[in-house]
Structures are given as C-alpha cells and as structure tokens.
C-alpha cells in the first residue's frame, strides 16, 4: 500500500490544479488529514460541482467539504468567473470612493 500523501502535498496539487483552470483560481483551499475544505465564490452550480469533482479526483484526497457560494454577479463586478466581490461593509474603497477624491474631503 502506498504511503498517504501529506496535507501540504495535497494542498499544493489542489491549488495548482484549480489555478490551471483560470475560472477556479478564486477558490480557497484548506486541507486537514486528507479532507479538503473549499470556500469562495463560483458563478453557478455546474461550476461548483466541477470544482468539487476535480478536487475529489486528486490523489490522497479523502473527502471534500464544500462551502462554495454561487455568485451570479449580483455581489461582485468584473467578468463572470473572474469577478471581484464588493466590500461587504459597503465601503466603496475598491472603486476609489474612500480616497478623498469625491470632493467631500
């Protein structure tokens, strides 16, 4: 029987595999005892299933816990699959609103 892969090696391969598929690059990964936890946003349910299946097929993965959210773009801006989430606090700093250039400061 082959030796179990370390969490570090599994995590490295998961990140590399998801990163190679550009639209999966925003998925965050944690590995503990071969169990991979996924978090972040994906554009639709089909993409979520594809990410989960891709990760489950990686050597050494004993299980996948998915905390992936489906974001159709209503909470983010940018092209689908590469969107950037708006600040959840409502601060518009990502758009330059907090730089004092709005004439109010």
pLDDT for the residue 2: 55
The answer to whether the predicted template modeling score (pTM) of the entire model surpasses 0.85 is no
d(CA 51, CA 93): 31
* First vs last C-alpha separation in the chain: 67
pLDDT for the residue 1: 46
d(CA 69, CA 88): 15
d(CA 31, CA 9): 10
Q: What is the mean pLDDT of each run of 10 residues along the chain (105 residues)?
A: 83 94 87 97 92 97 96 65 52 41 44
d(CA 64, CA 47): 15
pLDDT for the residue 58: 97
pLDDT for the residue 55: 97
């Amino acid at each position: 029987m082959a030796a179990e892969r370390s969490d570090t090696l599994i995590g490295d391969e998961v990140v590399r595999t998801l990163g190679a598929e550009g639209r999966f690059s925003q998925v965050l990964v944690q590995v503990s005892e071969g169990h991979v936890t996924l978090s972040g946003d994906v554009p639709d349910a089909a993409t979520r299933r594809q990410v989960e299946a891709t990760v489950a097929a990686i050597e050494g993965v004993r299980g996948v816990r998915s905390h992936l959210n489906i974001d159709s773009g209503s909470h983010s801006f940018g092209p689908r699959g590469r969107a950037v989430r708006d600040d959840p606090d409502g601060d518009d700093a990502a758009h330059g609103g907090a730089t004092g250039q709005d004439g109010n400061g």
